[in-house]
Structure 1
Amino acid sequence: MESLELEQLVKKVLLEKLAEQKEVPTKTTTQGAKSGVFDTVDEAVQAAVIAQNCYKEKSLEERRNVVKAIREALYPEIETIATRAVAETGMGNVTDKILKNTLAIEKTPGVEDLYTEVATGDNGMTLYELSPYGVIGAVAPSTNPTETLICNSIGMLAAGNAVFYSPHPGAKNISLWLIEKLNTIVRDSCGIDNLIVTVAKPSIQAAQEMMNHPKVPLLVITGGPGVVLQAMQSGKKVIGAGAGNPPSIVDETANIEKAAADIVDGASFDHNILCIAEKSVVAVDSIADFLLFQMEKNGALHVTNPSDIQKLEKVAVTDKGVTNKKLVGKSATEILKEAGIACDFTPRLIIVETEKSHPFATVELLMPIVPVVRVPDFDEALEVAIELEQGLHHTATMHSQNISRLNKAARDMQTSIFVKNGPSFAGLGFRGEGSTTFTIATPTGEGTTTARHFARRRRCVLTDGFSIR
């Protein structure tokens, strides 16, 4: 056999072997784990470190396949996920949770969100690219547990990371079930186990240990202000999703029928547990009566009796001036029953006229009770809305046909999400354009987070080359 023929034969055999190896992914498993669930935080994090060291060698196309696998495998489970979440947490409703989980699966950006920037000139070329952090430590809430897990898993793995989840104990069972399922889907897709991990007994102590673990460089916290503050004291980079108290301005130029329908849709959605949902309405006096009438036509119960308003306040707000956690995410019917108020239909929302200082306006209730505050004109409406939003820079909505007013409100309120002439959830891409997220990082400034926020921006410089202008 000629040497050239021998060389070609050897090359052919080697290429065939390499192709076989590519088709069969290498499994990386850690002893002691059951589908990503470990006994201790350290065991889980160490396993995730091993997994991420393998995952970072995968191609972008393989990451795309992981994201695709998550989307395809979770579609048939959406109703089960929604039903189990409501059954365990007692918050929200199955119909709206189906929509929210579908939104997380369909509209959470993947690898396509990792854009590259480039600068060229006489001195060469500089690339800015997004690379993984490693193992991300993430806290998930009880209000939107499954949506947050799905959304963050897609974004974090698209960016090349592994993730340790610290789910809320109030959503422990559904969270552990979903984390196991997500880890299994990912393992079956890319052959790497333990890219999504947690502990068998989620707790505040476990979350604290995760925050302080030396192998966790980035914390992503979707929860209340207390846990965000605790994470920020860790000395690590934190993406923190804080509280919100979104007002909705309605001026005299608005399409009142549409405004009323949009506000009722947004404020009643999943019983108002979304942090972006309308928590108050500030209406110009000349259209306030018609707005209230139209909100009633869209399924809201207008409570006007002062005695009934007091009953509502007594059950919704505690003596300490905070929301009654027992009623968070409950339906309007359940809240009315708790307050001893009769109603001859099934209302979607409870609306009450109040002053701007009323607890219903100043406290983030997370339940379908929305105060309506009257003001004489747009200028005062904006002032009141800014006051009610409390400088949280989270979300606001406005209904108006006056472009200058819409622009002024958006500029002055400086919220992460500002929705014009639509329901609040349009800001998440539902009945609105753009991607979705369930981690809206207002305290730390990232706003609506996607895969690019879970990646480290790196600069790579080549001198004296690749500028062809």
Structure 2
Amino acid sequence: MDIQDKDLQSIQEVRILVKKAKKAQKEFANFSTQLIDEIVKQLSIAAMAEAENLGKLAVEETGFGIWQDKMTKNIVASQKLYEHIKDMKTIGIISEDKDRKIVEIGTPVGVIAALIPSTNPTSTVIYKTLIALKSGNAIIFSPHPSALKCILKTVKVLKEAAVRMGAPEGLISCISIPTMEGTNELMKHEDVSMILATGGTAMVKAAYSSGTPALGVGPGNVPAYIERSADVKKAVSKILASKTFDNGTVCASEQAIVTEKCISDYVKNELRKQGGYFLTGEEIDKVVRIMETPNGGMNPRIVGKSAKDIAAMAGITIPEGTKVLICEEKGVGKEYPFSKEKLTQLLAFYTVEDWTEGCELCYKLLENGGMGHTLAIHSNNEEVIRQFALKKPVSRLLVNTPSTQGAIGLSTGLTPALTLGCGAVGGSATSDNVGPEHLINIRRMAYEVDDLGITPKENKIIDKLDIDAICKMVIEELKNVKK
């Protein structure tokens, strides 16, 4: 039966969920850190047990990606994340500086609204739940409508595990009637303390303009630079491993390869050997027609699809075993389709004279929709690597590693995360991989370390609010310090 007045029912559902979450969070905030940590551990175990089933369900419902890779992301969001955060101090006294006499106390922010994309639905729910509860918060999910079933199932798994451990009802919940009106109500509700927004640019902008503190992430248009000193065979292998991971649905996946003229032919040949197919002539036109919408945006029909699927949609023939379709692009901008973000198995290819020109081209690609996000470099020249790190407006510079796996903390020591901050340059409030430490307020207890030479007699001056006398006293004290 069709739901009548779906928008109104969604708004009402949100109000009920927020009321329950607020009550549950107040109770949860009084739990011992030991019990909270044990609950988080059990959530991780429960999510791990369902990692495969949830991965399959996500692909079945959305049509995006590869279930084995979604299972891997579920494992990153549960087991690997838990190992990273299990000993982290987030609530109560988290640090004490005896020299400066400052004690830092972590307190939960309250109720968190979590916006979930269709590209990484189950893993993002697991990840956000663990970091929210580790920091003493309640969490309410706003699911992408096309991934509602798998998101609700993931929430159910986590919620049941938490309740079994004694967590209050309402601590973890999800909108079951997703609408724009319901999401807006959630983001703007006075009892929601923070928004964790993962998704498209419009969603993130809506979160930041809601009036509620928000942590959102921008799009990724990740260049991968192969410098002349690189091990080309390994570099190509890692780029393809990243770009084919879940069919390119992670925003940190490579969108363009940039390499130097002196090794360009070698790189191309290696790409062909390992499953890359270079589009030519009419093939490029046919692919462009199905990769973009009339207004120049990314066609959602190609998101998370294999090279074989895209070729079939475009009506072109490609060799069996092709992993990625590649186009030698001539420029950067809206008139060059392959220079944009492509959350699928499509790559742009550029050739430059040297690393300085490559540095400039990578900057242009980042300006074309990836500022603040991620850049990958394959090189054995530490000086070139450092120059890229110093000059590129990114939050993650990944060296000799697959960009997808490196950015989410699977192949690097970065915080395991599925919300990757892009910093102010990318329109984000943080440049970090978001973790529990971003979901707390820190109260600082500071003891006096310098009485400023104030004597009991001079305290009488303060009591009389004699501002001129105080200023003179401070000036004299500063003179004595200089002497």
Higher relative contact order (CA 8 A, sep 6+): 1
In the TM superposition, residue 117 of structure 1 has moved relative to its aligned partner by 3.2
Partner of 1:28: none
| Residue identity opposite 1:405 in structure 2 | V
Q: Residues 113 and 141 of structure 2 are in contact (CA less than 8 Å); yes or no, is this contact kept in structure 1?
A: yes
Q: Residue 178 of structure 1: which of 131, 154, 171 is its match? A: 154
Q: Which residue of 1 aligns with 2:353?
A: 376
User: How do 1:93-132 and structure 2 match up within 5 A?
Assistant: 93-108=66-81, 109-114=84-89, 116-121=94-99, 125-132=101-108
**SS of aligned partner of 1:40:** helix
1:58 alignment partner, one of 27, 31, 34: 31
Are residues 1:189 and 2:165 paired?
A: yes
User: Tell me, what secondary structure is at the counterpart of 1:458?
Assistant: strand
Contact 2:11 2:181 in 1 (8 A): no
Instruction: Decide which of 336, 343, 354 is 1:366's aligned counterpart.
Output: 343
Aligned to 1:222: 198
* Separation of aligned partners in 2, 1:256 and 1:202: 47
- Matches of 1:160 and 1:463 in 2, distance apart? 30
Aligned length: 426
The answer to whether 1:83 aligns with 2:83 is no
Query: 2:45–2:79: 8 Å Cα contact kept in structure 1?
Result: no
Greater CA drift, 104-113 or 184-193:
104-113
| Structure 1 pair 114–416 and aligned structure 2 pair: CA distance change class (3 A) | farther
Percent identical residues: 28
**CA–CA separation in structure 1 for the residues paired with 2:249 and 2:336:** 17
The structural deviation recorded for 1:81 is 0.3
Match among 357, 370, 374 for residue 395 of structure 1? 374
Q: Give, in whole Å, the separation in 1 of the partners of 2:215 and 2:167.
A: 29
Q: Is 2:428 the counterpart of 1:428?
A: no
* More off after superposition, 87-96 vs 408-417: 408-417
- 2: CA distance, partners of 1:405 / 1:344: 36
Change (3 A) 1:359 1:270: farther
Q: 1:310 is aligned with what amino acid?
A: D
Q: Is the 8 A contact 1:118 1:128 kept in 2?
A: yes
1:236-267 per-position Cα deviation (integer Å, ceiling 9, x unaligned): 21101111101011111111111110111111
Structure 1 position 202, deviation (Å): 1.4
Any conservation in 1 of the 2:194–2:214 contact (CA below 8 Å)? yes
1:417 & 1:429 partners in 2: Cα distance? 11
* Superposed displacement of residue 319, structure 1: 2.6
After TM superposition, the structure 1 = structure 2 runs for residues 411-450 of structure 1, keeping only pairs within 5 Å, are 411-424=390-403, 425-442=405-422, 443-450=428-435
Report the Cα offset of residue 198 of structure 1.
Answer: 1.8
Q: CA deviation at 1:414?
A: 3.0
Deviation sequence 1:337-377 (CA, Å, 0-9, x none): 01111123132211121113363443212111001011111
SS in 2 for 1:279: strand
TM-score, normalised to structure 1, is: 0.87
Give yes or no for contact 2:28–2:167 (8 Å, CA) kept in 1.
no
- The 5 A counterparts of 1:235-384 are 235-303=211-279, 305-357=280-332, 359-384=336-361
Deviations 1:37-69 (A, max 9, x none): 996101001101111111000111111111110
Once the two structures are TM-superposed, the CA of residue 98 in structure 1 deviates from its matched residue by: 1.3
Q: What amino acid does structure 1 have at the position aligned with 2:406?
A: A
Seen in structure 2, the aligned counterparts of structure 1 residues 433 and 413 have a Cα distance that, compared at 3 Å, is same
- Provide the C-alpha distance between the structure 1 equivalents of 2:204 and 2:87, rounded to a whole number of angstroms: 29
Q: Does the 8 A contact of 2:339 with 2:348 survive in 1?
A: no
Displacement of 1:279: 0.6
Q: Write the distance in 2 (CA, Å) between the matches of 1:315 and 1:212.
A: 37
Q: TM-score, normalization: structure 2? A: 0.85
The aligned amino acid for 2:430 is G
Query: 2:443, 2:337 → 1: CA distance?
Result: 46
Q: Which whole-Å CA distance do the structure 2 matches of 1:464 and 1:261 have between them? A: 57
Check if 1:156 corresponds to 2:132: yes
Q: State the 1:176 CA deviation.
A: 1.1
Distance 2:213 2:127 in 1: 20
8 Å CA contact 1:38, 1:199 repeated in 2: no
The 1-side partners of 2:150 and 2:301 are apart by 19
Q: Residues of 2 paired with 1:338 and 1:202: CA distance? A: 30
- Give me the CA root mean square deviation: 1.8
Distance in 2 separating the partners of 1:211 and 1:117:
32
Partner residue, 2:439: 454
> Whole-Å Cα distance in 2 between the matches of residues 230 and 351 of structure 1?
34
Aligned AA (1:332): A
Structure 1, unmatched stretches of 5+, are 1-36
Q: Which runs of 4+ in 1 moved over 6 A?
A: none
Task: Please tell me whether the aligned partners of residues 48 and 79 of structure 2 are also in contact (alpha carbons under 8 angstroms).
Answer: no
